[in-house]
Structure 1
């Protein structure tokens, strides 16, 4: 079998890499090889359990690929032969390529150092539909569920499982939940919201052992406390899935991610890598950072797909901006760039702009919600370094504006005067639009 562009992996990165390549090079044959029959929406996985209650409602349709004239093969690639530019697949045999894009994603971190990690009913969150169906069944049968890890997946899983009426405990080794994305005041808001709905939170706490004969029964903590657990969810992060690349001699960085340049090219000029398997460099410091997000994968995939044969889209390699959003019950939380804590740790002299208002005007309108915003600027240049917002659903789009502002090096003065479209039912008032007002607050302190 032969193809012009072969994409290994069919989640967000793989899909967009293939689509971008096909749209740019219409005469080229583009093929995607993936292992699973169906692909889960990565960020929608927690919502399978409480809101959707069905894995089939969280599927990315294959029509996106097939309607674009892209060949789809359900198979497992066993090895890459770089010298002869072909791969060996389990069922399909040899597939020759001119260009190869690796979108092999990530694997959940399993804490093998914790005794009992391999007991029954101890689960990670994989992007595999059959596995998720089994996890769903066990959660539905359970009453006491413990989530180990207080990042986005851990918090979202806890919320969704609690919606089923289960007793839920989150255990986090750091002093706050969501600490990598938010400063303490926003983490405190998130924790308060979870606690209001009956979720138990234990921060600054380590798990020393998972207790049980064959099935997990309890989670033992470093305090000596034991928590009843019918099911344990391991939400301790993910790591790049690069075994296939490593075996082929493709260069990895010290974190085990595939080393790439600004066009997502590896050390082999005919092989690209995108998404969770590829390295990320911090926008501000150029340090390698583990920002493994579908939105980041999508951006990288478009760069790789368009440039796979020729450098058609010139990219200024400024690095990865950590842009996050989530919703915990009725409150949305979003962040982009550096937190105040991170900025200070990196040695930036900063100034903070803050503001609170309502997300509709007047605030007496139905379903109006308070919005709290925090912007972080470099004191002397006035350039924005980071943003955090909590409030209603329009928070998700406001953080996208601020992510672009960070990427473009926008100043507090520019954000104070940028022109906005407002409407009573859709946004805050034009006289108190959160981004403008927080920027003005920062300017008064510079």
Structure 2
């Protein structure tokens, strides 16, 4: 029986990052990596772009930046790492420190011994228990593993696919929908929650995203549950929801993933209620000689100190390095936690988030304040300037930023969310964020960065310089007061803007802000006045004007018409 210093189960990003880091720390270590797949170190996040044709060749997702194919020979020659593919680990015996494997090509069984073991078995697609759903049907697919993308691409190339039905509007579902839509394929997406990416973003951003997807021609059916699939001759032809029936040529099941931890469970390792492997701050499992990393574990949230499940390539790669350091350096590096930063492109709509959502803040019992606003990622006069809607969440007790979400068509949300993530992770107080020394030049950014503008808005709100109101609150008020006699909807945009983009509210009056201060408004002084404009900046100024004239019930519509969903 061969013995290795370290055996790693799983040749995905987490497993192979661990292996390569181990090798660089000590070139004499005997390292074995085992995986049941044929494709090690595969860039799974690139699958939607391969299907779309932006990535021309499947092997491009397996190559290094210097064009080397990451296969068995590469890892042996480049890192002296033994890599066994198409091998299934059938048993872990912690007492004897051995593993049993099955060669899936010839059914030969082999045992290996280890000093340290790393479990990086990743995750697997969730197949919901829906009547008639059969992933054996020739046109029904998941999109989790390399073989999935090969099958989907092959089906698209060999068949006339005019319409695709997607179950699930999470990250994968939305990215795939975008890629197929860009191939001029009609797409219908079903989601049981009220908006896309519901696990990541709040209502304002989510409903705005849904509206943009719909306006681009995509069918997005939220708050709908598929209850049945109908097949004929081993081919699914129709999805039936609680509201409609949709026929399609292809069906993709994108209902999320769950930890792949059966082998750990059989080995007696402790699992969480979610089925993830429980690890300590050094990523050791309940057995000190066995570590775990990647999609098979949960990680600590830096804000709440609770664990959460976030199967992201960023954590797999970063924590793979940390596991190797701890194996070689006697647990010298603790993992403090993460904040769930994510970004996605859907059609031309860029969406990003970090920290806690409003829902997560509520569930954690945090007393928080939110602001929602709209602005430009660079000066409005510059070519390529794009509007962005941003939601920020602050802890009222500490005034620290604890969550951020942003969305915009072609907008530079990446910079904004990365700066927000840095502020949150390092607990930078809001008053210091106000003076962050960020770069400025018109081709790149504003003189006051759009994120810093949000901190200014929070300071104004905190100091009660204005009263904010959301679209949701306005809708509720108008529904309760059908006649709206005690409510004034005041549009302070210019006359041209008012004609070009009509108000979404009935009976709104238009008084451009240039004429507001000099106007006689005594007839509405005792009413509740809701002021709005294009982005929320002029309406904020208008609320200050009216406040100076003794008006009390004055509210500024957050994000203006730009945030309307």
TM bin, normalised by shorter chain, reads: over 0.9
* TM-aligned CA deviation for residue 277 of structure 1: 0.6
* TM-aligned CA deviation for residue 109 of structure 1: 0.2
Aligned residue runs from structure 1 range 26-37, under 5 A: 26-37=27-38
Distance of 2:140 and 2:306 partners within structure 1: 34
SS in 2 for 1:212: strand
Distance of 1:353 and 1:222 partners within structure 2: 35
Q: Which moved more, 1:285-294 or 1:259-268?
A: 285-294
Distance of 1:312 and 1:82 partners within structure 2: 20
1:82 paired with 2:94, answer yes
57 and 177 in structure 1: CA distance in 2 versus 1, 3 angstrom threshold: same
Whether the 8 Å CA contact 1:6–1:100 is kept in 2: the answer is: yes
Aligned residue in 1 for 2:116: 99
Whether the 8 Å CA contact 2:230–2:238 is kept in 1: the answer is: yes
Aligned residue runs from structure 1 range 26-425, under 5 A: 26-39=27-40, 40-50=42-52, 51-52=54-55, 54-60=57-63, 61-62=69-70, 65-66=75-76, 67-74=78-85, 75-91=87-103, 93-118=110-135, 119-129=137-147, 131-140=148-157, 141=159, 142-213=161-232, 214-223=234-243, 225-311=244-330, 313-315=332-334, 317=336, 319-361=337-379, 363-391=380-408, 392=410, 394-425=412-443
SS in 1 for 2:295: helix
Whether the 8 Å CA contact 1:15–1:65 is kept in 2: the answer is: no
* Deviations 1:79-138, CA, capped at 9 Å, x for gaps: 222222222222372222111111100000001243333443221112133x32222222
Question: How many residues were matched structurally?
Answer: 440
CA RMSD of superposed structures (Å): 2.1
Distance of 2:406 and 2:131 partners within structure 1: 36
Distance of 1:309 and 1:190 partners within structure 2: 46
Distance of 1:113 and 1:171 partners within structure 2: 14
Which structure has the greater CA radius of gyration? Answer: 2
SS in 1 for 2:3: coil
TM-score, L = length of structure 2: 0.74
* TM-aligned CA deviation for residue 273 of structure 1: 0.4
* TM-aligned CA deviation for residue 424 of structure 1: 2.9
Distance of 1:2 and 1:393 partners within structure 2: 53
Whether the 8 Å CA contact 1:139–1:145 is kept in 2: the answer is: no
Distance of 1:89 and 1:423 partners within structure 2: 58
TM-score, L = length of structure 1: 0.92
Q: Which moved more, 1:281-290 or 1:336-345?
A: 281-290
415 and 338 in structure 1: CA distance in 2 versus 1, 3 angstrom threshold: same
Distance of 1:57 and 1:422 partners within structure 2: 36
Relative contact order: is structure 1 or structure 2 higher (C-alpha 8 Å, sep ≥ 6)?
Answer: 1
* TM-aligned CA deviation for residue 45 of structure 1: 1.5
Structure 1 residue runs of 4 or more that deviate by more than 6 Å after TM superposition? none
Gaps of 5+ in 1: none
Gaps of 5+ in 2: 64-68, 104-108, 463-565
